[in-house]
Structure 1
Amino acid sequence: MPPESISKNHVVALATSKKKEYHQITNEFMERYPSLKIERLTVSKILKKANEYQLQDNNVYTEKTFCHRSVKYPMLELAMNMWVERVTTEEIIISDSIIKEKGRQFAEAFSIPEGSFTFSNGWATKFKKRNGLKKTIMHGEAASAPLEKLPEERRKLQELLSHYNPEDIHI
């Protein structure tokens, strides 16, 4: 079953790998995907922007992405990406407010004027989407206490609770 749409990178890859003329590319697509109509003008426009399409990171965008918009401050984005990478490898929990605050810190470090950029909830959501960050619900206090001290702490708790009636202890 043919795809419903053809990615621009697919057209660029075909053209550059096989060094074909525009009409040859169009004809090949028409043979390969007869249900899709592609005009030579479309191929021409895509190939004129070939460098832009090849530089785009495909794994960030979904089928709903219509055009690529570059970020306003690439150095800020790079610094944030490096920070997220480091924080996630250290298994540190990050929230939207932490992401926004870190963005403000980097913006200040890069001397980005304060009014020219807002670190809103929308910005944080888009940043998480670009970096593949997902919401994770944490339960309990996993790995928060040293396991070697557990028997001793249990003994202390039992000793403390022994002074109370069992009916008065609610867990």
Structure 2
Amino acid sequence: MPPIQLKRTRTAISFDIKREICEYMVTNPNVNQGGVASFFNKKYQKLNIDRTTINKIWKSHEKWLSVLSTSQTSHIFRHRSVQFPELDKAMQIWTSQAIADGVPLTDMIFAETSIFIQCH
């Protein structure tokens, strides 16, 4: 009879921890991925990081090493790219001008402005 495999639960790892893992691997090149996983499992006991997870993080190590550490990155777990970059840039410009002019910003104003920008 084959052994029963327990289903692994997904562990969300923040940008800061991923960057820390990559920095650790750069400074300790002789430590294998299993050793890195056990080190971070001891350091962050609530996380259950597997060796394969370390491998996936290391494959994108250039991305994680370029992430700047801010108070917001400790709460970010997944990065989604902007679907419409031109609209996003136009809305950023409009928002900064609206804030400078003292316009009260609401969801409805954002929706109407984005529709107006898309049409023009």
Q: TM-score when scaled to structure 2? A: 0.61
Asked whether 1:36 is paired with 2:66, we answer no
Q: For residues 85 and 12 of structure 1, do their structure 2 counterparts lie closer, same or farther at Cα, with a shift above 3 Å needed? A: same
Report Cα offsets for 1:15-41 as digits up to 9, x if no partner: 136504533421321231345321110
Distance in 2, matches of 1:54 and 1:80, equals: 26
By relative contact order (CA 8 Å, sep 6+), the higher-ranking structure is 2
Report how far residue 108 of structure 1 moved.
3.0
Aligned residues: 104
Secondary structure, in 3 states, of the residue corresponding to 1:100? helix
**Aligned position for 1:10:** 17
Q: For residues 94 and 74 of structure 1, do their structure 2 counterparts lie closer, same or farther at Cα, with a shift above 3 Å needed? A: same
Q: Does the 8 A contact of 2:37 with 2:51 survive in 1?
A: yes
Q: Which runs of 5+ in 2 are unaligned?
A: 1-10
Q: Percent identity?
A: 23
Q: For residues 31 and 55 of structure 1, do their structure 2 counterparts lie closer, same or farther at Cα, with a shift above 3 Å needed? A: closer
Q: For residues 35 and 77 of structure 1, do their structure 2 counterparts lie closer, same or farther at Cα, with a shift above 3 Å needed? A: closer
Q: For residues 72 and 48 of structure 1, do their structure 2 counterparts lie closer, same or farther at Cα, with a shift above 3 Å needed? A: same
Asked whether 1:59 is paired with 2:66, we answer no
Q: For residues 52 and 103 of structure 1, do their structure 2 counterparts lie closer, same or farther at Cα, with a shift above 3 Å needed? A: farther
Q: Does the 8 A contact of 2:90 with 2:117 survive in 1?
A: yes
Aligned match of 1:92 in 67, 91, 103?
Answer: 103
Report Cα offsets for 1:108-135 as digits up to 9, x if no partner: 34xxxxxxxxxxxxxxxxxxxxxxxxxx
**Aligned position for 2:94:** 83
The letter for the 2-side match of 1:14 is I
Q: Which runs of 5+ in 1 are unaligned?
A: 110-171
The letter for the 2-side match of 1:101 is E
Report how far residue 10 of structure 1 moved.
1.4
**Aligned position for 1:47:** 58
Of structures 1 and 2, the larger Rg is shown by 1
Distance in 2, matches of 1:58 and 1:45, equals: 24
Q: TM-score when scaled to structure 1? A: 0.46
Report how far residue 7 of structure 1 moved.
1.5
Q: For residues 107 and 42 of structure 1, do their structure 2 counterparts lie closer, same or farther at Cα, with a shift above 3 Å needed? A: same
Distance in 2, matches of 1:107 and 1:13, equals: 40
Secondary structure, in 3 states, of the residue corresponding to 2:72? helix
